[in-house]
Amino acid sequence: MADPQAQPAVGSTLDYPAAEERFEASTELTVGLEEEFAILDPESLDLVPRFEPLVEASETEDPALRAQITGELICSEIEIISGRGADLADAIAMQRSHRTRLVDHAERHGAALAAIGTHPWADYREQQNIDTVHYRRVVDGLGYVARRNNTFSLHVHVGVRGVERAVQVCDRLRPVLPLLLALSASSPLLEGWDTNLYSARTMTFTRTFPRCGVPDAFGDWATYRDYLQTLQRLGSIVEATQVWWSIRPHLKNGTVEVRICDAQPDAARSDALAALIVACVAQAAADIDEGVPFTDPAPRMVEENLWRAIRHGDAGEMIDLDKLETYPSSQIEERLHAWTAPARAAHGLDVPLLGESSAVRQKALLAQGVAHRDIYAQVVEQTMRTYRSQATA
């Protein structure tokens, strides 16, 4: 996926010595944000392949914005990247400026934007794929799996010093990933269906792409490097970005990249979710440094929580993996805030409360008999208003 903290690459993304050097030189808790938007016809709210015209127009009208725009798999999607922020507040400030200009730019050129995990009725068979070397490789290599992936997400990069620590941070955050997904759920509607899920995006992307979802616990850099080298030797990958795990050490950036979340229709909520992710990475790193004991939970139980997040989002129950007891998903935020309190205090991280997810709101409208198009119209209005003004919806 796109790199929001881009810096000159040393060799390929599978240059392991260079990756080790990047992590050793990494600054702790730098932050980079990636937010993906659907590009829409403002009248019909259908997906429209306007990525290239929007990019071409930005090259002359707003070159600074052009530098922060990148493409994704389909031509009806656009991504805005923050650049490397010295810290969370810096990254959010940069992203707010980029967002405002992006929304205005899209509107000037007859397009609307929306930020939830899926489009409610679009037919994936009608979507055009972006024409780049990377995405041609993805589509040719994965076929239907890639073509089917018309989804939109939030990714957060966090600087972690030392590649060994980065791998261990990813390990410690494995059981946290389903909790973050539950809080971010925004995609109950897909292909004209109420899917009875809260994150249909996760089933479309995370459950179908290879090397995706919650990864194994690798334990150390040597094991992770051996995994990548084996895939490379066997012809499964030619670049590190073909490993799509929901959390991964980003070899080109020297960051831990958290990739589990649905896109958010409210800009303030996207900021708050990013802040919570940064706090989780910071706390995991602190726990490693302080020798806090950690027992890796059984993968099958992490998977069980992932399914619960997909199915019921923040409106169901999750499993306490230490006690093997359930608790209401409404307590997820409270639990994560309690765990991350030391790191938030140490680094001055402001992590606002999220409240209920977009999926909960959409489900409530569905229960009232509101049509899918009218629900999506509200999402589009919320996206255009809050990402331009930064007001809380």
Along the chain (393 residues), what's the average pLDDT of each consecutive run of 10 residues? 39 77 96 98 97 95 94 90 97 96 97 98 87 76 82 97 98 98 98 96 90 94 96 90 94 96 97 98 98 95 98 98 97 98 97 95 98 98 92 42
Give the domain 16-389 fold.
Answer: Creatine Kinase; Chain A, domain 2 (3.30.590)
Pairing state between β 244-245 and 212-213: parallel
Q: Rounded distance, CA 393 to CA 383, Å?
A: 9
Domain boundaries, the chain: 16-389
Residue 358 confidence (pLDDT): 98
The pLDDT assigned to 381 comes to 98
- What pLDDT is attached to residue 142? 78
Position 143 scores a pLDDT of 83
Residue among 297, 113, 124, 278 nearest 200 (CA): 124
| pLDDT recorded at residue 132 | 75
Burial state string for 20-57 with b = 16 or more CB within 10 A and e = fewer than 16: bebbeebeebbbbbbbbbbbbeeeebebbbbbeebbeb
pLDDT of residue 13: 54
Closest-CA residue to 4 (of 31, 27, 38, 39): 31
pLDDT attached to residue 391: 43
Strand partners, 326: 319
Integer Rg of the chain from CA: 20
pLDDT given for residue 136 in this prediction: 76
pLDDT at 287: 98
Predicted pLDDT at 147: 81
Contact yes or no for 254/22 (Cβ under 8 A):
yes
Check the CA dihedral 134-137-141-142 and report its sign.
Answer: positive
